[in-house]
Structure 1
Amino acid sequence: MVELSIIIPTIRPESEIDCLRYLDAQEFDDYEVIIRSDPGASKARNEAIKRANSEKLVFLDDDSMPRPGYLQAVSDALDEHDVVAGRVFQPDDAVITYKQLPWYDQGDEGKYTDLVVGCNMAMRKSVIDAVGGFNETFFHGHEETELGRRISQQFDIWYEPSMVVEHYYAFSVRQYWEKSYRHGKADADWWVVDEVPLSTRLRKCLPWNVLRRQPVETVAMLVLKFGRVRRLTAQLLGLVDIPERRQAHGNASQVRRESSEGISPLSSGRD
């Protein structure tokens, strides 16, 4: 049995998964990589969990860039804790650096937290057995946050600053606006899961905080403000876009890139 099962949801071909070359450069080599292309990050991760051969599960995005020593740090952390959240830095050339991302870098010291991020987190498979997997209502966005909320009701989540990954929040202003729109749809899905009354959902979508008269002092603030407008638009559309219908559409257009067993046949390459 391998020490770590690394799970990466993606729609990219393997040759374009940046994360793999960073993993291959690690000194630690007792791991497997499970890549899934199922529709939606939640479903892809759940399917990968079913096929994992290790008790220790590591969740990365296809564009996560683990720093040297990352895998050893994950393995050590999971010897002491059931669930760990890692530290995330944006690269020096990142475009969106002015948005507050408290779930990325939580400081220099280890501590208990309720913040997790899908591009850098790990847990024991027994945790998934206890609380259930990722909620597949969430097609893209909030799936790790919702899972973290369920986990925190039964387990402590440890923030481990030595588990460092570099990750762009967005590669460009345009991608940031697109991401804001997707997260707006995810907001609407969250309200369905939480059974938020329709009247409350509508109030949440009112753009008073965005459209009130305030000077736009910098281009950066203008970018953030338009991103917020995009998110509000998606929230409103999400009120009438039933998650189950969107999931069914995703199933119909699923891109299959699997071996006969349903996983990409990748390992550390140094077995």
Structure 2
Amino acid sequence: MTSQTGPQDTRLPDGFRIVLDRRTRILDDGAALLGGAPPRLVHLTAKARAIVDTGNTITVADPASRALARLLLDGGLAQPARPVAALERPTAKDVTVVVPVKDRTAGLVRLLATLPADLGGIVVVDDGSAVPVAVGHDSPVTVLRNDTARGPAAARNAGLAAATTELVAFLDSDVVPRPGWLEPLLDRFADPAVGLVAPRIVALDAGTTWVSRYEAVRSSLDLGLDAAPVVPRSRVAYVPSAALLVRRDAAGTGFDEELHVAEDVDLVLRLHAQGWRLRYEPASHVAHDHRVDVVQWWGRKTFYGTGAAPLALRHTGAVPPMVLSPWSAAVCALLLVQRRGATALAAVITAGAAERLSRKLGKLRRPRLAAARLTGIGLVGALAQTGSALTRHFWPVAVLACLFSARARRAVAVAAVVEGVVDWWTHRGHDADGPGPLAHVGAHRLDDLGYGAGLWWGAWRHRTAAPLRPTGPGRRRPHRQG
């Protein structure tokens, strides 16, 4: 359903600038960098250290700086800086906006009123609305119509086929782009290897109910405040199709029309496998009219969960419920036993993992300190995944265990409270007035119950356990070079 080749040119242009990610740690006075998602250690040669200036910025000017910038950018240790004015990049006239719509005329009119006047084109695809969409005879909008509904993937593909510009922006009819939304996305295409960029999806109206306030800070569409590469099994593993800007050559024929859920994740996985770089750019805001009716909201969470099974069957190992190394999986299992002996053994395994890692970090001045830090990061991540999995992916199993074991009840209760409070603390500053900790934890647990129910239903319907199988870190798939 998409292009068969990756980018033909992956060379960053002269003048392209990157800045170290705020999570990246500088070790040994610049001899190494620790960061990315998943975390990795990058040793720098003396020449590479000289390229990173005092502001932790790299400007591409020669083959060495170009190679270093690409390495750090792809690894998530650095993010693109705002490009200099002289750097060539697309403009609004290079963009066609495609809007799939079905029986949502008011939202479509609201959206069209916010779009720039200098776009390369606007295509509205009416996917079998009861009353055909009309936008006026003097409108620059092209309207295509399916007599019967074929689904959002097919509607987007029809608009993609009609577009003639270099870039295509997919916008759902229930979104409202904020002023200035397009420019930060266009900036990312100064990198010729970038095939897709997504904005941050924010709430159109924070509202006053507990559901609306929770969605304002914790929507499944909102991927947070920090820019990131979109990489499977990382902090930003997908981006939603509510708002996307794609290179037409990368998109090929578009979305998989057999999928009626998670077709956006499928597109991300395919483009990444072909070597395209994908970016999440939260400097661009597109507001979404979130579902705030409790029944509709919970149903949508369940619907999202059903997409895991078809994705797991199409992309083996790309969407696991947990990604744990063998030692961290053993430690988490031992801690769940809740016995002194098991806890002591978990401590021994953790210390052994740190010591083994330190032997691989011999180039550093203090390898044991760096190994302890890396091991600690890995263990915290593993515990967080375990707590989340107990209440989200595997809650039916957890409930069954609680019927027979007091230790299971204690473990699930601790996970439900601690993970929920941490989640509230993490999202409390997301540009909106979210609910208090009690309401947030309650909504979060309902969110997880809905997704988990959909996950298990989808697995049963497709007769597969693939979306329920944890996996190890494995080796990262290298990007193809043009």
* TM-score, scaled relative to structure 1: 0.69
The separation in 1 between residues aligned to 2:113 and 2:279, in whole angstroms, is: 27
1:213 aligned residue? 413
Between the aligned partners of 1:139 and 1:10, the Cα distance in structure 2 is: 15
Aligned residues with identical type, % of pairs: 20
How far the C-alpha of 1:27 sits from its partner, in A, is 4.9
AA in 1 matched with 2:94: E
Q: In 2, Cα distance between the equivalents of 1:209 and 1:61?
A: 37
Partner SS state of residue 191, structure 1: helix
Contact 1:5 1:34 in 2 (8 A): no
Shift of 1:160: 3.3
Cα deviation, residue 70, structure 1: 2.6
Q: Which deviations, in whole Å up to 9, do the C-alpha atoms of 1:52-109 show, x marking residues without a partner?
A: 22221101121111112234444454454432222222245251235375853342xx
Q: How does 1:56-75 map to 2 (within 5 A)?
A: 56-75=167-186
- Residue 123 of structure 1 corresponds to which residue in structure 2? 246
State the AA in 2 paired with 1:189. P
Tell me which residue corresponds to 1:159.
280
Cα shift at 1:194: 3.7
Q: Any gaps of 5 or more consecutive residues in structure 1? A: 244-271
What SS class does the counterpart of residue 22 from structure 1 fall into?
coil
Partner of 2:353: none
> Which residue of structure 2 aligns with residue 241 of structure 1?
461
- Code of the residue aligned with 2:172 in structure 1: it is D
In 2, Cα distance between equivalents of 1:30 and 1:179: 34
Counterpart in 2 of 1:31? 121
Number of residue pairs matched?
A: 230
C-alpha separation in 1, matches of 2:295 and 2:119:
37
With over 3 angstroms needed to count, the CA separation of the structure-2 counterparts of 1:92 and 1:239, relative to structure 1, is: closer
Look up the match of 2:224. Answer: 105
CA distance in 1, matches of 2:163, 2:454: 35
CA shift for structure 1 position 7:
1.7
CA distance in 2, matches of 1:236, 1:112: 29
Distance 1:87 1:98 in 2: 12
Secondary structure of the residue aligned to 1:207 is: helix
Residue of structure 1 in register with 2:452 after alignment: 232
CA–CA distance in 1 between the matches of 2:295 and 2:289? 13
Q: Determine if contact 2:175/2:287 at 8 Å carries over to the other structure.
A: yes
Alpha carbons 2:95, 2:119 under 8 Å: kept:
no
Partner of residue 159, structure 2: 48
Aligned-partner Cα distance in 2 for 1:73–1:135: 28
- Counterpart CA distance in 1 for 2:101 and 2:461 is 24
Question: 2:267 matched to 1:147?
Answer: yes
Q: How far, CA to CA, are the matches of 1:70 and 1:98 in structure 2?
A: 19
For residue 12 of structure 1, what is the amino acid of its counterpart?
A: D
Structure 1 position 156, deviation (Å): 1.0
Give the equivalent residue in structure 2 for 1:9: 100
Q: 1:9 to 1:213 in 2, by over 3 A?
A: same
SS of residue paired to 2:256: coil
Amino acid at match of 2:286: V
Where does residue 202 of structure 2 map in the other structure?
Answer: 89
Corresponding letter in the other structure for 1:5: T
Segment drifting more, 224-233 vs 181-190: 224-233
In 2, Cα distance between equivalents of 1:213 and 1:159: 34
Residues 239 and 88 of structure 1, relative CA distance in 2, 3 Å threshold? closer
For the residues of structure 1 that align with 2:229 and 2:458, how far apart are their CA atoms?
33
Q: Return the index of the structure with the highest Cα Rg.
A: 2
Q: Which range moves more in the overlay, 214-223 or 114-123? A: 214-223
In 2, the alpha carbon distance for the partners of 1:103 and 1:29 equals 26
- Contact 2:255–2:264 (CA<8 Å) still a contact in 1? yes
SS of the residue corresponding to residue 159 of structure 1 reads strand
Give secondary structure in 2 for the equivalent of 1:7.
Answer: strand
> How far apart are the structure 1 equivalents of 2:189 and 2:103?
29
**How far apart, in 2, do the equivalents of 1:194 and 1:99 lie?**
27
Q: Which has the higher contact order (CA 8 A, sep 6+)?
A: 1
In structure 2, what is the equivalent of residue 248 of structure 1? Answer: none
1:167 CA displacement: 1.9
| 3-state DSSP of counterpart to 1:190 | helix
Name the CA distance, whole Å, in 2 between partners of 1:68 and 1:177.
Answer: 31
Contiguous gaps of at least 5 residues in structure 2: 1-92, 128-148, 322-389, 403-411, 418-436, 464-482
TM-score normalized with structure 2 length: 0.42
**CA separation in 2, counterparts of 1:102 and 1:47?**
24
